[in-house]
Amino acid sequence: MTVISDEVAEFVQNERLGYVATVSPDCKPNLSPKGSIIRSGPESLAFADIRSPDTVENLESNDAVEVSVISPIIRRGYLFSGRGHIHKSGALFDDLIKKFRDMGIQSPINTVVVIDVDHISDTKSPLYDLGYTEEQIKDTWKRNYFENS
């Protein structure tokens, strides 16, 4: 497994929204937004299954999973690959439920999914390859957002 650095964990914590990709038993992709992604251990992420029946069902038959956490403002983030494990009870489940409640999540939580991370990739916009700075990309995003709102 791969250690999730404090810098990466802080990024995930600040963004919170990530997209979890799984594959169904009949090989159909499933991409589902999750607003509860956290680092749950040195080499793992977790999210609360609040409304994730397809994601959980897919993980029951195929534990391969990828999670993409990207800041739309700076167009940078991380792609995590690993194996997902569903927890319905136990000490880890209870500990993570407490963390999610402390984050302010009030919705009923059905299960908790813990992802053992095998690989982390840095993801960034091709604009960085063209020499744009994070500040320039942020300013462009703000202009586009506020001009179109």
Summarize pLDDT for 120-135 with one digit per residue, the tens: 999 999 999 999 999 9
Q: Under a CB-based contact definition with an 8 Å cutoff, are residues 59 and 81 in contact?
A: no
Nearest of 69, 96, 95, 99 to residue 81 by alpha carbon: 69
Query: What pTM value is reported for the model?
Result: 0.93
Q: Is 140 exposed, middle or buried (0-12, 13-18, 19+ CB in 10 A)?
A: middle
Across all residues in the chain, what is the average pLDDT?
A: 96
Domains of the chain, earliest start first: 6-147 (2.30.110.10)
Q: Structure tokens of 68? A: 């993409």
d(CA 142, CA 107): 32
